[in-house]
Structure 1
């Protein structure tokens, strides 16, 4: 329950007392709400709420969680994360015995899904898991990245490959998105050792990651603007759509499209043509077991990566 405790503390510290009808003055030294104020407003005892924040309370009921979410002003994504953290101990297997799949899935993509990926033309498309590992990509995705995309982890790429920071037109926003995506993944897959190792590696290697992780922000992986500074075709302002793959634990299909008639559409068409002429990465893009893919080395024409 430690993750739940930390999440409650960070959210409590961000609530403006005035928004819940609590007057403040210059003598107030607490940032956000006090524990007793949260308890009073949510209708639980102060002792119980203190135990929640200390990780000592039993699993809170749905009614308590709903009340806390209302007091703390949580949005839909944060509410879902709060409930997941409260329930996560129920999902932890007592033993990783024979027949128990590894946490977070196998990292392999079904051939039928790969066929769908191949049908996406004129737009970069990727299959990514909850760790932000790229499991597969179409041809244009490889040209966008300027490298083999299977085996690439976008979180590691954004935070740790400092030489490529300039390739992200919205690098700071990308870092917010990455941390916001990894937070709910950590709550949903608390027993995934590869995810835990990734988070530890990012925390060790990036001071910005450590600061953002301490904020405990969560974000939904849905859609939005993604911009890249491609060294060959210039600025590409694209729109990302995320499609969850039913039956594939944590996997999503991501498609990066350009608005019709936009400079980005021309840029993608040019990039596609340059690839056909041999100016871009032309290695096969469909190896999907990330554990068996050696780290790729960017070419001299290295491209920007997605902020997903």
Structure 2
């Protein structure tokens, strides 16, 4: 994963971007050459080659910062670089379970749509309003994978604009970078790359961005357009599970739309 990210970001830079002379020569590959980036980062070409090929041990903080500077990474990309370099291989795990206290917590936020995502973006539980907002065509007791649902279910995909697709892929990138060797996560990503050209294209672009909160428009079949903010909150002692809350501005038409959706879902 580290080598893949380095190659992608190196390919995005041109000699002129980093103050190198460009004599109009035809390059066989886009972006900077390995030796050029190695020189900018102050490491040997051989060492940098091993980094890209995954043949390295621990990478020092100083080297990572030098690479981030040479690659012109922003703060989120720099954090992702460090996470990739320091990730620990994940060993086979027990099936994921939701702690009883977190199920109680989910029930306590019934006034807003909410769900709990597992470490592979599985929907471990949702409240009635979260289900009514995101997937009312599914059985309430269904436990789908959110990434699979978003890219492969046309009704769910129709709720969102294209920004949500990039955010979903960026989130999976973050998860995969922190969980190398997680076979279930790798299988999910491989499945989506095969099944969804949209996912495959975005995955190849290596989107890296924060996924803690977003404000976006939902094109809901029952409630109409809703402008909602979502917050992804890590749950303590849960190995990567997250509580996701959706809310509208107080007094807004979207808040009224959520109330109507809540009434409608309570009658189902």
The answer to whether the superposition gives a TM-score over 0.5 is yes
Q: Which residue of 2 aligns with 1:112?
A: 101
Q: Which residue of 1 aligns with 2:195?
A: 205
Structure 2, unaligned runs of 5 or more: none
Q: Which residue of 2 aligns with 1:166?
A: 158
Contact map agreement 1:117 1:137 (CA 8 A) in 2: yes
Aligned counterparts of 2:142 and 2:158: Cα–Cα separation in 1: 22
Q: Which residue of 2 aligns with 1:245?
A: 235
Correspondence 1:112-131 to 2 at 5 A: 112-131=101-120
Aligned counterparts of 1:200 and 1:65: Cα–Cα separation in 2: 28
What SS does the corresponding residue of 2:158 show, helix, strand or coil?
A: helix
What SS does the corresponding residue of 2:244 show, helix, strand or coil?
A: strand
Aligned counterparts of 2:68 and 2:113: Cα–Cα separation in 1: 38
Contact map agreement 2:215 2:227 (CA 8 A) in 1: yes
Q: Which residue of 2 aligns with 1:17?
A: 15
Q: Which residue of 2 aligns with 1:156?
A: 148
Among 229, 237, 262, the alignment partner of 2:252 is 262
Cα drift, residue 16 of structure 1: 4.2
| Distance change >3 Å, CA 163–CA 137, structure 1 → 2 | closer
Aligned counterparts of 2:157 and 2:173: Cα–Cα separation in 1: 22
Q: Which has the higher contact order (CA 8 A, sep 6+)?
A: 1
What SS does the corresponding residue of 1:254 show, helix, strand or coil?
A: strand
Aligned counterparts of 1:132 and 1:227: Cα–Cα separation in 2: 21
Aligned counterparts of 2:25 and 2:230: Cα–Cα separation in 1: 47
Structure 1, unaligned runs of 5 or more: 97-101, 279-308
Q: Deviations over 1:63-110 (max 9, x none)?
A: 11111011112233322332232233x5455xx6xxxxx1xx642121
What SS does the corresponding residue of 1:123 show, helix, strand or coil?
A: coil
What SS does the corresponding residue of 1:50 show, helix, strand or coil?
A: helix
Q: Which residue of 2 aligns with 1:294?
A: none
Cα drift, residue 202 of structure 1: 0.5
Aligned counterparts of 2:183 and 2:12: Cα–Cα separation in 1: 31
Q: Which residue of 2 aligns with 1:41?
A: 40
What SS does the corresponding residue of 1:246 show, helix, strand or coil?
A: coil
TM-score, structure 1 normalization: 0.79
| Distance change >3 Å, CA 222–CA 149, structure 1 → 2 | farther
Aligned counterparts of 1:31 and 1:108: Cα–Cα separation in 2: 45
TM-score, structure 2 normalization: 0.90
Aligned counterparts of 1:25 and 1:206: Cα–Cα separation in 2: 40
Contact map agreement 1:135 1:150 (CA 8 A) in 2: no
Aligned counterparts of 2:228 and 2:56: Cα–Cα separation in 1: 46
Aligned counterparts of 1:130 and 1:227: Cα–Cα separation in 2: 26
